[in-house]
Chains A and B, each alone.
Chain A
Amino acid sequence: DGGITQSPKYLFRKEGQNVTLSCEQNLNHDAMYWYRQDPGQGLRLIYYSQIVNDFQKGDIAEGYSVSREKKESFPLTVTSAQKNPTAFYLCASGTQGVGSSGYTFGSGTRLTVV
């Protein structure tokens, strides 16, 4: 079955550590997205990529980095520069002409700072 796989489901980060969240899709979608979800704030866009080897900052990119070396993969690194990283992180993918069909989301990664 086609879909998006995010791993791990739960992740704990110590102060000053970088951590990487994995996102893999087999839907043959060109575009991929990373969102952060906090209670009462909806989904906020961190980074997005519409093609391999290219990505753009979203609304809250500071303290995060991404890569898009393969069409299927779009990992997100939460760096030590992100001061409040505790949140639920969602990866999504979609076809180009983004409004035309909506997004498919992964099951999310819950990141907690310990």
Chain B
Amino acid sequence: QKEVEQDPGPLSVPEGAIVSLNCTYSNSAFQYFMWYRQYSRKGPELLMYTYSSGNKEDGRFTAQVDKSSKYISLFIRDSQPSDSATYLCAMSTGDMRFGAGTRLTVKP
């Protein structure tokens, strides 16, 4: 079993839809949780960062962490074609682990 599991998709939605991206993990020691966005042929960029459990909102993006279920989510409201990218979850306790990434396409 991988430490971090992420459905690779691909996921295709119409413009304006709410997108839900998820990861599960097995290491209960993880304290820091991140989401990165990676456009094609580019390096990942940090999108959201959360410490421990709870929600964090930034514009159209909301990150949720449920440590009791070992489950994290990223919600994108009013999705736009410019949101089309691969989204990687990551988590750390001093040693960063990444999910495989979910490829998202938002169609106009």
- Which residues on A sit within 8 Å (CB–CB) of B90? 102
Chain B residue numbers with a CB within 8 Å of A97 are 94
Q: Mark contacts of A24-68 with chain B using CB atoms, 8 A cut-off: 1 yes-contact digit, 0 otherwise.
A: 000000000001000011110100000000000000000000000
Interface size on B, residues (CB 8 A): 25
How many chain A residues touch B (CB < 8 A): the figure is 23
Contacts known (A40-B8, A41-B100, A42-B99); A99 close to B31, Cβ less than 8 A = yes
Contacts of A40 in B (CB 8 A): 8, 100
Q: Given A40-B8, A42-B6, do A98 and B94 touch, yes or no (CB 8 Å)? A: yes
Listed residue (B34, B43, B46, B90) with the most chain A CB atoms within 10 angstroms of its CB: B43
> 11 A-B residue contacts at CB 8 Å?
A4-B43, A42-B6, A43-B88, A43-B98, A98-B92, A98-B95, A99-B32, A102-B36, A104-B46, A105-B43, A110-B41
